[in-house]
Structure 1
Amino acid sequence: MSEKIEAVVKNSTRLGEGPHWDDTTQCLYYVDLFVGDVHRYNAVTGDDSRLNLGDTIASIIIPRQKGGFVVSKRTDLAILDSWDRDKVTSIANRVEADANMINDGKVDASGRLWFGSCFCGKDIPDPDNWPKHQGSLYSLDPDGSVKKHISNITISNGMDWNDDNSVMYYIDSIARQVWAFDFDITAGTVSNQRTVADFSSTEIPDMGYPDGMTIDTEGKLWVACFDAGKVVRIDPETGTVIRTVKFPCEKITSCCFGGEDFTDLYVTSAAPAQLGKTPLAGSIFKVTGLGVRGRKANMFAG
């Protein structure tokens, strides 16, 4: 099956990340990490609007069941009242050390937010020189309690769960690993870490660094390949790449399924200082015609 790639919002970000599709409004929410902006792209009208959270770092925007959004600001988690009323109230202050930042997050089926951290550089990451093992993986329960689950992560990134919530998938970009864990959704715990895909292996060549991730209804992973200009579909049972979608820029950062029937793949990207031969870098892309579909995204229950 042949896919079609379209830049639906051109050059909207310096470092686009954290896409979340809201099926109730047919809107894509995403962030511009080092600018502190959160964006809302309305797929019906084509309008892209933004809010600045008053900080240089914003990595998460996810709708809440009670209305508004859970957002992150550097080392804090907060509630954004609504898109039209930009009041931000902190709910977890200084989760991480000042040298770090919160990076990427997703909500599990119980309404619990999972998020990670990494060292906070001043620009788009230089993977070769990134300080190692300074990040962690956390969860935020609806009651506001924060728990640390894994330490010694370098750049915490993409995560998602299988259909029966027995497995959580998780990425450390600099380690170039896609991991799986046994997942207990009631207790909110992970265990039995193992490697699903090793991007440093010669069996998966030219994939760059795994970044954001989503899962389709067939249980296959879609992983954004930073510095490789691709999103790859991976079979987590075998660790093999079974499909590759190539984009007109190298720094592909994350992806999620959206559209009325969740058959569109929305993809974020980053823009280098000089666009050069990749004038669409920093755009939001939509991929259609993939022949697969994703699932409704979970909202934060807190």
Structure 2
Amino acid sequence: MSEKIDLLVRNRVNHVEGPHWDDTTQCLYYVDVFANGVHRYNAVTGENSKLNLGDSAATVIIPRGFLVSQRTDLAILDSWVNGKVISIAKVEVDPRMLNDGKVDSSGRLWIGSGYCGKDDLGPDPLKWPKYHGSLYSLDADGCIKKHLSNISLGNGMDWTGDNTIMYYIDSLPRQIYAFNFDITAGTVSNKRTVADFSSAEISDMGFPDGMVIDTEGKLWVACCDAGKVTRLDPETGKVIRTVKFPCEKITSCCFGGKDFTDLYVTSSQFQMTPAQLEKTPLAGSIFKVTGLGVKGRKANSFAG
């Protein structure tokens, strides 16, 4: 099967993250983290609209209720029209910041964090502060639980179709982990490494960032600083397939479209020099990949 890559939205943002497909409206939601904006791309009309959430970085937007993150807080965006944001929980303390998140099939939000002092994020992620972040969950009743500590930069996550395994990425050590998952209790256990992007077995893949699982149980991982999305078998840790993009900082991906066979891929131009931007002028754009021969699942909505 031969894939096709289309440029969907060109250079609208600085650091695109957190794509989330809403099948009820055929819209793609995403965030521009350091510009504090949330965006909506309407796949039917081609319209791209934006809301600014003030001076707090947005890293997650979950539609149908619009649960958003604002640096250290989780909040509800009451509508796309007026942009009013109401904080519902303070989760972290500066300079740590919430990052990528996703909702499990019970309607529970999971979200990670990392250190984000403005003077500490240089061009080399290997020199960023480590082990200051955590992994949290937010239940429908507003209860916040911390599940993991010593995370460096919590990123992509997803679950197997039978809800027995949760996959989770810590980007700075370049690890993809698996946990036994209890959907009823909302707990994780038995941490083990699925794939080590710093190993010789998985070379030239950069830093694992956002992630989504397909209906065959394989992981699609955004490879930041490598310009790729890779399909990975979590049972063997082997790379099955690689899709190359015309920019290096690929940040995340999600399945969407009418039958969930399209892969939407986000990218960044964060901390890129003018020379780097000239070399890869599509940095900060959004792409759609078709013809992959696989499909994803409908995204879950927050139950709160």
Task: Encode CA deviations 1:240-284: one digit per residue, 9 max, x unaligned.
Answer: 000000000000000000000000000010012421210100001
Residues in 2 aligned to 1:280 and 1:293: alpha-carbon distance in whole angstroms: 26
Which sections of structure 1, spanning at least 5 residues, go unmatched?
A: none
Residue pairs, 1:63-78, within 5 angstroms: 63-64=63-64, 68-78=65-75
Give the aligned partner of residue 29 of structure 1. 29
Could you tell me whether the CA contact under 8 Å between 2:163 and 2:182 is conserved in 1?
yes
Residues in 1 aligned to 2:123 and 2:12: alpha-carbon distance in whole angstroms: 18
TM-score, normalised on structure 2? 0.96
SS at match of 1:29: strand
Give the aligned partner of residue 289 of structure 1. 291
1:87 to 65, 71, 84: 84
Shift of 1:236: 0.5
Shift of 1:85: 2.6
Give the aligned partner of residue 133 of structure 1. 131
Higher alpha-carbon deviation: 234-243 or 52-61 = 52-61
Could you tell me whether the CA contact under 8 Å between 1:258 and 1:294 is conserved in 2?
yes
CA 1:254–1:277: 2 relative to 1, 3 Å: same
Aligned residues: 298
Give the aligned partner of residue 47 of structure 2. 47
Give the aligned partner of residue 97 of structure 2. 101
Give the aligned partner of residue 236 of structure 1. 234
Opposite residue 286 of structure 2, the aligned amino acid is: I
Opposite residue 297 of structure 1, the aligned amino acid is: A
Residues in 1 aligned to 2:84 and 2:122: alpha-carbon distance in whole angstroms: 28
Could you tell me whether the CA contact under 8 Å between 1:169 and 1:178 is conserved in 2?
yes
Task: Encode CA deviations 1:216-260: one digit per residue, 9 max, x unaligned.
Answer: 000000000000000000000100000000000000000000000
Identity, % of aligned positions: 75
Residues in 1 aligned to 2:12 and 2:44: alpha-carbon distance in whole angstroms: 18
Opposite residue 178 of structure 1, the aligned amino acid is: I
Residues in 2 aligned to 1:92 and 1:156: alpha-carbon distance in whole angstroms: 19
Shift of 1:56: 3.9
Which sections of structure 2, spanning at least 5 residues, go unmatched?
A: none
CA RMSD of aligned residues (A): 1.0
Aligned: 1:301 with 2:297: no
SS at match of 1:237: coil
Could you tell me whether the CA contact under 8 Å between 1:37 and 1:53 is conserved in 2?
yes
TM-score, normalised on structure 1? 0.97
Give the aligned partner of residue 14 of structure 1. 14
Aligned: 1:260 with 2:258: yes
Opposite residue 54 of structure 2, the aligned amino acid is: G
2:178 to 165, 173, 180: 180
SS at match of 2:126: helix
CA 1:273–1:32: 2 relative to 1, 3 Å: farther
SS at match of 1:128: helix
Aligned: 1:202 with 2:200: yes
Residues in 1 aligned to 2:153 and 2:122: alpha-carbon distance in whole angstroms: 12
Give the aligned partner of residue 116 of structure 2. 120
Higher alpha-carbon deviation: 180-189 or 117-126 = 117-126
Shift of 1:55: 2.1
Residues in 2 aligned to 1:114 and 1:32: alpha-carbon distance in whole angstroms: 20
Shift of 1:121: 4.0
